[in-house]
Protein backbone atom coordinates (compact mmCIF):
# COMPACT_ATOMS: atom_id res chain seq x y z
CA UNK A 1 0.00 0.00 0.00
CA UNK A 2 0.90 3.64 -0.36
CA UNK A 3 2.77 5.48 2.37
CA UNK A 4 1.43 8.79 3.61
CA UNK A 5 3.32 10.78 6.20
CA UNK A 6 1.62 13.43 8.29
CA UNK A 7 3.40 15.85 10.58
CA UNK A 8 3.22 16.82 13.38
CA UNK A 9 1.53 13.92 15.16
CA UNK A 10 0.39 16.20 17.92
CA UNK A 11 0.60 19.87 18.66
CA UNK A 12 -0.42 22.12 21.51
CA UNK A 13 -0.76 25.81 20.84
CA UNK A 14 -2.12 28.94 22.41
CA UNK A 15 -5.39 30.45 21.31
CA UNK A 16 -4.90 32.91 18.46
CA UNK A 17 -1.85 31.27 16.95
CA UNK A 18 -1.66 29.43 13.62
CA UNK A 19 -0.69 25.81 13.15
CA UNK A 20 0.48 24.14 9.96
CA UNK A 21 0.02 20.43 9.32
CA UNK A 22 1.86 18.71 6.49
CA UNK A 23 0.76 15.67 4.53
CA UNK A 24 3.27 13.96 2.28
CA UNK A 25 2.78 11.17 -0.18
CA UNK A 26 6.07 9.30 -0.03
CA UNK A 27 5.88 6.78 -2.84
CA UNK A 28 3.50 8.09 -5.47
CA UNK A 29 2.22 11.30 -6.96
CA UNK A 30 -1.08 12.47 -5.56
CA UNK A 31 -3.09 14.95 -7.57
CA UNK A 32 -5.85 14.79 -4.99
CA UNK A 33 -5.66 14.76 -1.21
CA UNK A 34 -8.51 14.91 1.28
CA UNK A 35 -8.48 16.58 4.68
CA UNK A 36 -10.73 15.25 7.43
CA UNK A 37 -11.46 16.32 10.98
CA UNK A 38 -12.55 13.94 13.70
CA UNK A 39 -13.92 14.91 17.09
CA UNK A 40 -13.84 12.38 19.96
CA UNK A 41 -16.15 9.41 19.44
CA UNK A 42 -17.29 10.77 16.11
CA UNK A 43 -16.64 9.82 12.53
CA UNK A 44 -14.43 11.51 9.97
CA UNK A 45 -15.87 14.72 8.57
CA UNK A 46 -14.57 15.79 5.18
CA UNK A 47 -13.26 19.34 5.36
CA UNK A 48 -11.88 19.89 1.89
CA UNK A 49 -10.46 18.30 -1.21
CA UNK A 50 -6.97 19.49 -2.02
CA UNK A 51 -6.10 19.62 -5.71
CA UNK A 52 -2.53 19.97 -6.92
CA UNK A 53 -1.96 23.27 -8.65
CA UNK A 54 -5.44 24.65 -8.04
CA UNK A 55 -7.66 25.87 -5.25
CA UNK A 56 -9.02 23.46 -2.71
CA UNK A 57 -12.69 22.57 -2.71
CA UNK A 58 -14.20 23.14 0.71
CA UNK A 59 -17.22 21.36 2.15
CA UNK A 60 -20.21 23.34 3.24
CA UNK A 61 -19.70 24.96 6.62
CA UNK A 62 -15.89 24.86 6.50
CA UNK A 63 -14.32 28.31 6.54
CA UNK A 64 -11.75 28.53 3.78
CA UNK A 65 -10.08 31.57 5.35
CA UNK A 66 -9.61 29.74 8.61
CA UNK A 67 -8.43 26.42 7.21
CA UNK A 68 -5.92 27.27 4.52
CA UNK A 69 -4.97 24.45 2.21
CA UNK A 70 -2.02 24.49 -0.14
CA UNK A 71 -1.21 21.66 -2.55
CA UNK A 72 1.83 23.04 -4.30
CA UNK A 73 3.32 19.76 -5.44
CA UNK A 74 2.22 16.24 -6.25
CA UNK A 75 3.62 14.96 -2.97
CA UNK A 76 2.74 17.64 -0.43
CA UNK A 77 -0.41 19.25 0.86
CA UNK A 78 -0.56 21.50 3.90
CA UNK A 79 -3.42 22.52 6.16
CA UNK A 80 -2.99 25.68 8.20
CA UNK A 81 -5.40 26.35 11.02
CA UNK A 82 -5.30 30.13 11.37
CA UNK A 83 -6.07 31.97 14.60
CA UNK A 84 -6.82 28.71 16.33
CA UNK A 85 -9.35 28.58 19.15
CA UNK A 86 -10.16 25.84 21.66
CA UNK A 87 -13.11 24.66 19.56
CA UNK A 88 -10.62 23.85 16.76
CA UNK A 89 -9.07 21.19 18.97
CA UNK A 90 -9.53 17.96 17.08
CA UNK A 91 -7.85 15.10 15.24
CA UNK A 92 -6.97 16.18 11.72
CA UNK A 93 -6.14 13.49 9.21
CA UNK A 94 -5.21 13.61 5.57
CA UNK A 95 -5.76 10.94 2.99
CA UNK A 96 -4.48 10.36 -0.47
CA UNK A 97 -6.01 8.97 -3.59
CA UNK A 98 -3.30 7.81 -5.96
CA UNK A 99 -3.13 8.67 -9.62
CA UNK A 100 -5.07 11.09 -11.74
CA UNK A 101 -8.41 12.53 -10.81
CA UNK A 102 -11.20 10.10 -11.46
CA UNK A 103 -9.47 7.29 -9.62
CA UNK A 104 -11.80 5.80 -7.05
CA UNK A 105 -9.72 3.21 -5.32
CA UNK A 106 -8.58 2.81 -1.78
CA UNK A 107 -7.81 5.85 0.32
CA UNK A 108 -4.48 5.87 2.11
CA UNK A 109 -4.36 7.80 5.37
CA UNK A 110 -1.70 9.74 7.15
CA UNK A 111 -1.11 9.05 10.84
CA UNK A 112 -3.23 12.02 11.87
CA UNK A 113 -2.44 15.16 13.84
CA UNK A 114 -3.99 15.83 17.20
CA UNK A 115 -4.38 19.56 17.78
CA UNK A 116 -5.03 20.96 21.24
CA UNK A 117 -5.66 24.68 21.51
CA UNK A 118 -5.33 26.14 24.99
CA UNK B 1 -26.60 16.01 0.08
CA UNK B 2 -25.81 12.68 1.57
CA UNK B 3 -26.79 10.62 4.60
CA UNK B 4 -24.76 7.65 5.67
CA UNK B 5 -26.03 5.98 8.81
CA UNK B 6 -24.64 3.28 11.05
CA UNK B 7 -25.54 2.07 14.53
CA UNK B 8 -23.58 4.01 17.12
CA UNK B 9 -22.43 1.12 19.27
CA UNK B 10 -22.52 -2.66 19.25
CA UNK B 11 -21.37 -5.27 21.71
CA UNK B 12 -20.53 -8.88 20.95
CA UNK B 13 -18.80 -11.84 22.53
CA UNK B 14 -15.42 -13.23 21.59
CA UNK B 15 -15.81 -15.99 19.00
CA UNK B 16 -19.21 -14.78 17.85
CA UNK B 17 -20.36 -13.23 14.57
CA UNK B 18 -21.45 -9.61 14.29
CA UNK B 19 -23.04 -7.70 11.42
CA UNK B 20 -22.61 -3.93 11.17
CA UNK B 21 -25.08 -2.21 8.88
CA UNK B 22 -24.66 0.92 6.81
CA UNK B 23 -27.44 2.67 4.93
CA UNK B 24 -26.79 5.52 2.57
CA UNK B 25 -28.57 8.09 0.46
CA UNK B 26 -26.24 9.83 -1.90
CA UNK B 27 -26.04 11.03 -5.45
CA UNK B 28 -23.28 9.90 -7.76
CA UNK B 29 -22.59 6.65 -5.92
CA UNK B 30 -19.35 5.09 -7.10
CA UNK B 31 -18.49 2.44 -4.52
CA UNK B 32 -18.40 1.79 -0.80
CA UNK B 33 -15.51 1.08 1.56
CA UNK B 34 -15.29 -0.30 5.06
CA UNK B 35 -12.52 0.87 7.36
CA UNK B 36 -11.45 -0.12 10.86
CA UNK B 37 -10.18 2.52 13.23
CA UNK B 38 -8.65 2.01 16.65
CA UNK B 39 -8.78 4.97 19.02
CA UNK B 40 -6.21 7.61 18.20
CA UNK B 41 -5.07 5.90 15.03
CA UNK B 42 -5.69 6.30 11.31
CA UNK B 43 -8.34 4.15 9.65
CA UNK B 44 -7.20 0.97 7.95
CA UNK B 45 -8.81 -0.50 4.85
CA UNK B 46 -11.00 -3.57 5.19
CA UNK B 47 -13.05 -3.94 2.03
CA UNK B 48 -14.43 -2.33 -1.11
CA UNK B 49 -17.73 -3.00 -2.90
CA UNK B 50 -18.83 -1.41 -6.13
CA UNK B 51 -21.13 -4.13 -7.48
CA UNK B 52 -23.99 -5.83 -5.69
CA UNK B 53 -23.12 -8.90 -3.73
CA UNK B 54 -20.79 -10.26 -1.12
CA UNK B 55 -17.04 -9.79 -0.94
CA UNK B 56 -15.24 -12.16 1.39
CA UNK B 57 -11.80 -11.63 2.86
CA UNK B 58 -10.82 -13.97 5.64
CA UNK B 59 -12.87 -13.28 8.78
CA UNK B 60 -14.38 -10.18 7.20
CA UNK B 61 -17.08 -10.01 4.54
CA UNK B 62 -18.90 -7.04 3.09
CA UNK B 63 -22.18 -6.93 1.23
CA UNK B 64 -23.67 -4.27 -0.99
CA UNK B 65 -27.13 -3.66 -2.41
CA UNK B 66 -27.10 -0.53 -4.54
CA UNK B 67 -30.85 -0.57 -5.16
CA UNK B 68 -31.50 -0.53 -1.43
CA UNK B 69 -28.66 1.82 -0.50
CA UNK B 70 -27.47 -0.75 1.99
CA UNK B 71 -24.25 -2.44 2.98
CA UNK B 72 -23.09 -4.55 5.87
CA UNK B 73 -19.80 -5.70 7.28
CA UNK B 74 -19.75 -9.18 8.73
CA UNK B 75 -17.09 -10.12 11.24
CA UNK B 76 -16.69 -13.79 12.12
CA UNK B 77 -14.82 -15.49 14.94
CA UNK B 78 -14.56 -12.25 16.82
CA UNK B 79 -11.35 -11.52 18.67
CA UNK B 80 -10.67 -9.00 21.41
CA UNK B 81 -8.49 -7.01 19.01
CA UNK B 82 -11.56 -6.43 16.82
CA UNK B 83 -12.79 -3.91 19.39
CA UNK B 84 -12.62 -0.73 17.34
CA UNK B 85 -14.72 1.70 15.35
CA UNK B 86 -15.94 0.57 11.94
CA UNK B 87 -16.60 3.19 9.32
CA UNK B 88 -18.35 2.83 6.03
CA UNK B 89 -17.43 5.36 3.39
CA UNK B 90 -19.18 6.13 0.13
CA UNK B 91 -17.44 7.45 -2.95
CA UNK B 92 -19.50 10.28 -4.36
CA UNK B 93 -18.67 11.23 -7.92
CA UNK B 94 -19.89 14.51 -9.41
CA UNK B 95 -18.93 16.05 -12.74
CA UNK B 96 -15.66 14.14 -12.96
CA UNK B 97 -14.60 14.86 -9.40
CA UNK B 98 -15.02 12.54 -6.49
CA UNK B 99 -14.88 12.52 -2.74
CA UNK B 100 -15.12 10.00 0.06
CA UNK B 101 -17.88 10.59 2.59
CA UNK B 102 -17.76 8.65 5.85
CA UNK B 103 -20.68 7.29 7.78
CA UNK B 104 -21.39 7.99 11.42
CA UNK B 105 -19.22 5.06 12.53
CA UNK B 106 -19.96 2.08 14.77
CA UNK B 107 -18.01 1.42 17.97
CA UNK B 108 -17.73 -2.32 18.49
CA UNK B 109 -16.87 -3.78 21.87
CA UNK B 110 -15.84 -7.41 21.98
CA UNK B 111 -16.27 -9.01 25.38
CA UNK B 112 -14.47 -12.06 26.70
| Residue pLDDT, tens place only, A89-99 | 999 999 987 75
pLDDT value at residue A100: 47
CB–CB of A34 and B99 under 8 A? yes
User: Judging by beta carbons within 10 Å of its beta carbon (0-12, 13-18, 19+), is residue A81 exposed, middle or buried?
Assistant: buried
- Establish if B107 touches chain A: CB-CB under 8 angstroms: yes
Residue B103 forms contact with A (CB below 8 Å): yes
**Distances B8 to A47, B20, B84 between C-alpha atoms, Å:** 22, 10, 12
Point out the residue among B30, B48, B96 whose CB comes nearest to the CB of A101.
B96
Q: What is the pLDDT of residue B1?
A: 56
Facing B87 at nearest CB: one of A43, A112, A114? A43
Please state, as a whole number, how many other Cβ atoms lie within 10 Å of the Cβ of residue B11: 11
Which stretches in chain A have pLDDT values below 50? Answer: 100-101
The residue ranges of DSSP E strands in A2-118, in sequence order, are 4-7, 10-13, 19-25, 32-38, 45-51, 57-58, 67-73, 76-81, 90-97, 108-109, 113-117
Mean pLDDT by runs of 10 across the 112 residues of chain B is: 88 97 92 94 92 94 97 97 96 85 95 95
Amino acid sequence: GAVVSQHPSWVICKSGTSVKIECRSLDFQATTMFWYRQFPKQSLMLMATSNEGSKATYEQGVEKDKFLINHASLTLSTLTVTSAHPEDSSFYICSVSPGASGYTGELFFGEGSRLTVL
Amino acid sequence: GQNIDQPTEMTATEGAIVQINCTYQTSGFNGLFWYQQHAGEAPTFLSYNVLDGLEEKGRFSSFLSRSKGYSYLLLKELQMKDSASYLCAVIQSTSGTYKYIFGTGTRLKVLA
